[in-house]
Structures are given as structure tokens and as C-alpha cells.
Amino acid sequence: MPVKKKPPRRSSCPINASLEILGDRWSLLIIRDLMLRSYQTYKELLSSDEGIATNILAERLKRLDAAGIISTSRDAGDRRKVVYRLTAKGIDLAPIVVELILWGAQHEPAGVPPAAIRRMRAGRKQFLSEIRRNWEEGGTAVFIANPRKA
Amino acid sequence: MPVKKKPPRRSSCPINASLEILGDRWSLLIIRDLMLRSYQTYKELLSSDEGIATNILAERLKRLDAAGIISTSRDAGDRRKVVYRLTAKGIDLAPIVVELILWGAQHEPAGVPPAAIRRMRAGRKQFLSEIRRNWEEGGTAVFIANPRKA
């Protein structure tokens, strides 16, 4: 599916700008997987617990690439394999992702123990540093597991 | 439009829980207007710069009410007037909203001067306190203006 030329923004509000890119039910889940599960391939992204459809995943990856949030490259070892990675602009989404975790964990039934939420809230700054360091190192850290794989 | 019975969650991930409620292009704009413009009425919410359609606004308000993010009541002075207000769960979205502002302002053309972004980032904690205090006081503060009204 070709990515269409962007229509003009609905407003000049920065929240609106963010939502025009990220405001759907899937994009931030893909970003979660790249950021907190160190997923790199289409197959890995497709494996996530929410069961994203393959056409939606493909379309969202194109949009995230067009928005400069992810980069797409070929695996150094296996040139047939496409590798997705967050850009600097993409890793800057970490505070949004962390706040979405904290709010969802606190207010919705999500199976996160209250002590774990308190720890994450208290250690918010350190958690953000670790996420960034893992990204800088081209890392493999798994900050939150995919229950399907557990 | 009646709010349908909720289907089961796609996963137990807290980010997914947040996105199932907030993951669209409009809900967080309505929350922005209640939180940062102290809007309280349907007419005010309809006036925002992004030009939300009246049927979408009505449907989103119902969903946000059903999710416990806003409460709906009658104006004390004019019983015909419906007043929307963030609940405690709703005002807890402030850190997400602030991070969406910061990311959008930094990475997208949104007409926010870099000095203003730096100030907001440095004063993030105080900004969050002010948002909460305004809410606790049933406030009228305008943290970000609606350009249509300016």
C-alpha cells in the first residue's frame, strides 16, 4: 500500500501533531516492541500478543518509516532480512510509552502487581536511561516480555 | 450511538490497555481541552481548532465517560447545560498529555519556540502540579490557547 502524500495538519497544536502520527491502536504497540522487546524483524513484530494483522503491520511500518520514527535496513549477515530500528526521533517516544504503561497499569486491569508499578514510577528516570542505553548499544534487552513467548 | 459492551482485551499488556481506550486521533484532544483549556461544555469542545465532527465528539464523550475518564453532570446554574469534567483517572493522564506535547513540539513543525519547549521540559514537574491544582480547584486556567479564539 503506497503511503499517500500527507494532508495538511488539522491544527498547529503539538499534541495534535503527535496524535496525527501516533493516534491509532497499533503504532505505539509496534514502537513498544522495538523499544522494550528489542524486536527487529517483521516476523517478531507479527508474533506479539495482540495479534496484529499482517496488512496493518506492513502499513504501519511504512507510515512510521515515512514519519522518521523507524529506519528500515538490510541485516548485515543476511541481506534478504529486513531490520527495523527506532531512530533518534523514535527513541524520544520512550517517555510517552512509559507514561502509557504507568497509567494503564494503575487504572486498568492489566495484571501488573501494584509494587511493580510503584517501583517503575519511583525509578522512572532510571528506566528511561536504561531504555535509551539499550537503544544506543543496538541492544537486545527485554524490558517487558511477550506472554506468547513466555 | 449506544456504547457497546466491551470486547475482551487484545492482551494483558498495560500499554495495550491504555491504547484500547486512548488510541485514536480524537480522544486525547478532547482530554487536552478539558485539562489544559478548562473547557466544560459540548459547544466549547466542538470549537477546537481541529474541527472535530459533532457525531465523533458525541461518541468519544460517551466512550470516555464509560471508561471512567470523564464525568458528565448538569450545570448547577443552568440545569439544561451538560458539564464535562475529568475524573481522578482522567487527570492522571496529565503526564501522557505533557509528553505528547513535548515530543510533538520537538519533532514536528508545530510552531512552538525551542525556548518554550526547553522551559516546559525543565519545568515538567511544576507544570504537572499546576495542571492538577487547577483540576482540584475546578479551575478555569488556560495552559494552551485555542488559536481559533485568539
Per domain, the residue ranges of chain B are: 22-136
- Provide CB contacts within 8 A for A123, sequence distance 6+: none
Of A92, A101, A109, the CB nearest to B15: A101
Q: What is the pLDDT of residue A150?
A: 47
- pTM > 0.80: yes or no: yes
Please state whether A38 falls in left (phi above 0), alpha (psi between -120 and 50) or beta. Answer: left
Which residue on chain B is closest to A117 by alpha carbon? B14
Q: Do A12 and B99 touch (CB under 8 A)?
A: no
Q: What is the pLDDT of residue B5?
A: 66
Identify the CA nearest to B93 among candidates B69, B114, B115, B117.
Answer: B69
Q: Which of B6, B18, B93 to mutate against chain A (most A CBs within 10 Å)?
A: B18
Residue type, B131: I
B128 touches chain A (CB under 8 A): no
Of A20, A25, A49, the CB nearest to B19: A25
Per-position b or e across A61-80, b if 16+ CB within 10 A of its CB = bebbeebebbeeeeeeeeee
- In the DSSP assignment, the letter for residue A149 is T
Length of chain B: 150
Domain A22-136 has CATH 1.10.10.10: yes
A141 touches chain B (CB under 8 A): no
Segments of chain A with pLDDT less than 50? 150
Q: Do A14 and B50 touch (CB under 8 A)?
A: no
B51 touches chain A (CB under 8 A): yes
Chain segment B16-57, per-residue pLDDT in tens: 999 999 999 999 999 999 999 999 999 999 999 999 999 999
A89 touches chain B (CB under 8 A): yes
The residue assigned the cell 443552568 is B78
B24 touches chain A (CB under 8 A): yes
Chain segment B84-94, per-residue pLDDT in tens: 999 999 999 99
Which residue on chain A is closest to B67 by alpha carbon? A108
Q: What is the pLDDT of residue B149?
A: 59
Q: Do B95 and A105 touch (CB under 8 A)?
A: no
Q: Do B24 and A21 touch (CB under 8 A)?
A: no
Nearest-neighbour CA in chain B from A102: distance (Å): 8
- Provide CB contacts within 8 A for B92, sequence distance 6+: A103, A106, A107
In which band, very low, low, confident or very high, does the pLDDT at B150 lie, cut at 50, 70 and 90?
very low
User: B115 to each of B97, B118, B122, B123, B148, how far by Cα in Å?
Assistant: 19, 5, 10, 12, 24
Contact criterion met (CB below 8 Å) for B44 and B57? no
C-alpha A123/C-alpha A101 separation (Å) is: 13
Instruction: Provide ipTM, 2 decimals.
Output: 0.91
Q: What is the pLDDT of residue A4?
A: 60
CA torsion A114-A119-A124-A127 (nearest 10°) is -110
Angle of CA points B20, A107, A127, to nearest 5°: 90
B56 touches chain A (CB under 8 A): no
Chain segment B1-12, per-residue pLDDT in tens: 555 666 788 998
The residue assigned the cell 469534567 is B85
CB neighbourhood size of A57 (10 A): 17
Q: What is the pLDDT of residue A127?
A: 92
C-alpha A32/C-alpha A30 separation (Å) is: 5
Of A18, A49, A93, the CB nearest to B11: A49
Contact criterion met (CB below 8 Å) for A19 and B25? yes
Which residue on chain B is closest to A20 by alpha carbon? B25
Q: Do B106 and A92 touch (CB under 8 A)?
A: yes
Nearest-neighbour CA in chain B from A41: distance (Å): 20
How deeply is B137 buried, as exposed, middle or buried, from its count of CB atoms within 10 A (0-12, 13-18, 19+)? exposed
Q: Do B13 and A99 touch (CB under 8 A)?
A: no
